[in-house]
């Protein structure tokens, strides 16, 4: 049921929308709890029968914002018969946001991408396909080689946005920029490389050469400046984040011993491949076990080997659930139980730290008064320790000797 206050707010907003106050009120409408069903029904009817284009666009926008799956049939039916470009683009965009029934929708979008003669429509299709994630990767890659101009540039942006295999994209873009025949093609792939590699990319010279030789339009230069400024801001934030991280490390590790600090860029391997995920999680467990068997230490997840903050965003995209931190902690606990054992949980303290836009995980590991076994992916037992700044797996003849030395050191400390 909708209470009287919500009903009053709803009717006020709907009057504004119908009086052409516009799409700006659609998000407000969605905030009204239990939005009356008639709004959705009315929007679907408008898509089916309305001839006034403004009314139709408003109805599409509402259903897009509401992500109403039952609107998919009337949207697809209207798309099939609609000739007006603006309406076709709006419907395609809405279908991409709704993201329902991919097995049915993706082939329809692919057909439009192959056969529609309008560039704007095909650009919207590329964006919509990107919303379906890796299910559309093959279609987008095929279209990348077939398309030209603005559509190709849109596909490049979508592939980067959905985080298609970065290494493969860089290799592909480097190859394509080298053989590109037109300035726009060079610009498209060079811009893609800068989006992936940052301002250190060799592609920056290609763009500068195109600008100096007057081969780019004012609009293209403006778009590139936006990319450049964004990457420059990101670089500055990264520098500030690095300084904060160095200060944090200095604070928590007074001795600055490199054997007590380890960086890992990711927990899950940033992959949906089960083998990669398991291997990556095992590496985390291996480092933790080595700290327990040595002098303890700090493991930073979301920081690469060079000490550059990457953040946990790639891990968060892999993990399920709304609360990503809780999901991360739960997966970490399960990893420790699997590879070390539940009895060692008390030796770790898990915290999260945020540096500007970058969130990392900091795991403080205490030393254990007994050697902690590490169970690998083949369920074989190992003993690992820290040596200078790496993890070392003890050979069978070294285990007892190391344990004797370690026990005697611990005894001296306790005296």
- Find residue 392's DSSP bridge partners: 385
Give me the helix-helix angle, 37-49 and 72-81, nearest 10°: 20
DSSP letter at 18 equals: H
Q: What is the pLDDT of residues 42-100, one digit of tens each?
A: 888 888 887 888 888 888 887 887 777 888 898 999 998 888 999 999 999 999 988 88
Q: Does residue 141 carry a pLDDT above 70?
A: yes
Whether the Cβ atoms of residue 84 and residue 53 lie closer than 8 Å to each other: yes
Residue 72 to residue 102: CA distance in whole angstroms: 11
Looking up tokens 């500068």 gives 208
Strands 297-301 and 261-264: parallel
Which stretch of DSSP H or E encloses residue 365?
Answer: strand 358-365
Instruction: Mention every residue, 6+ apart, whose C-beta is less than 8 A from residue 38.
Output: none
Q: Does residue 39 carry a pLDDT above 60?
A: yes
* pLDDT bucket at 28, cuts 50 / 70 / 90: low
Extended beta strands in 228-316, E state: 261-264, 297-301
Mean pLDDT for 231-237 is 79
Mean pLDDT for 234-252 is 74
Neighbours of 191 (CB within 10 A): 25
Q: What is the pLDDT of residues 355-414, one digit of tens each?
A: 777 889 999 999 998 899 999 999 999 999 988 778 888 888 888 888 777 766 554 444
- List, as one string, the DSSP characters of 253-271: -TT--GGGEEEES-SSTT-
Selected residue with higher pLDDT from 15 and 146: 146
Residue 343 to residue 190: CA distance in whole angstroms: 53
Residue 369 to residue 190: CA distance in whole angstroms: 55
Residue 93 to residue 67: CA distance in whole angstroms: 11
Strands 390-393 and 261-264: unpaired
Neighbours of 115 (CB within 10 A): 8
Q: What is the mean pLDDT of the chain?
A: 82
pLDDT at 282: 95
Strands 348-355 and 390-393: unpaired
Give me the helix-helix angle, 85-98 and 119-130, nearest 10°: 10
Select, from the ranges 16-30, 187-201, 367-381, 393-407, the one with the highest average predicted confidence (pLDDT). 367-381
Residue 18 to residue 10: CA distance in whole angstroms: 12
pLDDT at 122: 93
Give me the helix-helix angle, 218-252 and 183-197, nearest 10°: 10
Instruction: Mention every residue, 6+ apart, whose C-beta is less than 8 A from residue 248.
Output: 353
Question: Which domains does the chain show, CATH number per domain?
Answer: 1-100 (no CATH), 165-252 (no CATH), 255-414 (3.30.950.30)
The number of angstroms, rounded, from the C-alpha of 341 to the middle of its chain's C-alpha atoms is 31
Selected residue with higher pLDDT from 224 and 140: 140
Please choose, from the candidates 272, 286, 273, the residue with its C-alpha nearest in 3D space to the C-alpha of residue 374: 286
Residue 37 to residue 51: CA distance in whole angstroms: 23
Q: Does residue 23 carry a pLDDT above 90?
A: no
Share of the chain above pLDDT 90, in %: 25
- List, as one string, the DSSP characters of 316-329: HHHS-SS-HHHHHH
Q: What Cα–Cα distance (Å) separates residue 313 from each residue in 105, 163, 197, 267, 336?
A: 28, 11, 17, 11, 22
pLDDT at 348: 93
Mean pLDDT for 241-256 is 67
φ/ψ (deg, to 5) at 261: -130, 135
pLDDT at 176: 85
* pLDDT bucket at 350, cuts 50 / 70 / 90: very high
Distant-in-sequence contacts of 19-24, Cβ < 8 A, 24+ apart: 20/54, 22/58, 23/58, 23/61
Please choose, from the candidates 336, 251, 240, the residue with its C-alpha nearest in 3D space to the C-alpha of residue 298: 251
Mean pLDDT for 321-326 is 85
Residue 285 to residue 376: CA distance in whole angstroms: 9
Q: Does residue 102 carry a pLDDT above 50?
A: yes
Mean pLDDT for 140-147 is 87
Looking up tokens 């391997």 gives 269
237-246, 273-282, 391-400: segment of lowest average pLDDT: 237-246
Share of the chain above pLDDT 70, in %: 87
Q: Is 386 helix (H, G, I), strand (E, B) or coil?
A: strand
pLDDT at 24: 44
């Amino acid at each position: 049921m909708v209470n009287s206050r919500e009903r009053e707010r709803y009717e006020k907003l709907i009057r504004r929308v119908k009086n052409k106050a516009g799409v700006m009120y659609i998000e407000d409408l969605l905030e009204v709890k239990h939005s009356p069903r008639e709004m959705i029904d009315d929007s679907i009817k408008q898509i089916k029968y309305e001839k006034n284009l403004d009314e139709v666009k408003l109805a599409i926008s509402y259903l897009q914002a509401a992500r109403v799956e039952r609107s998919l049939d009337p949207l697809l039916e209207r798309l099939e018969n609609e000739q007006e470009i603006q309406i076709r683009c709006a419907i395609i965009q809405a279908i991409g946001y709704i993201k329902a029934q991919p097995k049915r929708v993706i082939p329809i979008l692919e057909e439009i991408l192959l056969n529609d003669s309008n560039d704007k429509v095909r650009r919207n299709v590329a964006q919509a396909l990107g919303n379906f994630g890796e299910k559309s990767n093959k279609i987008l890659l095929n279209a990348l080689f077939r398309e030209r101009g603005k559509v190709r540039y849109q596909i490049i942006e979508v592939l980067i946005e959905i985080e298609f295999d970065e290494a493969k994209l860089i290799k592909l873009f480097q190859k394509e920029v080298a053989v590109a025949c037109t300035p726009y093609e060079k610009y498209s792939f060079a811009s893609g490389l800068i989006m992936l590699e940052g301002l250190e990319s060799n592609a920056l010279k290609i763009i500068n050469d195109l600008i100096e030789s007057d081969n780019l339009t004012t609009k293209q230069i403006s778009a590139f400046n936006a990319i450049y400024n964004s990457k420059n801001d990101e670089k500055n934030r990264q520098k500030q984040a690095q300084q904060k991280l160095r200060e944090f490390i200095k604070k928590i590790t007074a001795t600055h011993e490199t054997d007590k600090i380890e960086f890992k860029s990711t927990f899950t391997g940033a992959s949906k491949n089960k083998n990669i995920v398991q291997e990556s999680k095992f590496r985390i467990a291996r480092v933790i076990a080595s700290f327990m068997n040595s002098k303890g230490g700090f493991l930073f997840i979301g920081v690469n080997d060079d000490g550059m903050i990457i953040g946990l965003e790639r891990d968060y995209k892999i993990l399920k659930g709304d609360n990503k931190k809780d999901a991360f902690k739960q997966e970490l606990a399960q990893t420790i139980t699997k590879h070390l054992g539940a009895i060692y949980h008390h030796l770790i303290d898990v915290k999260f730290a945020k540096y500007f836009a970058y969130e990392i995980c900091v795991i403080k590991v205490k030393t254990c008064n007994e050697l902690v076994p590490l169970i690998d992916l083949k369920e074989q037992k190992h003993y690992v320790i820290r040596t200078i700044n790496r993890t070392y797996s003890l050979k069978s003849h070294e285990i007892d000797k190391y344990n004797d030395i370690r026990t005697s050191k611990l005894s001296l400390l306790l005296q």
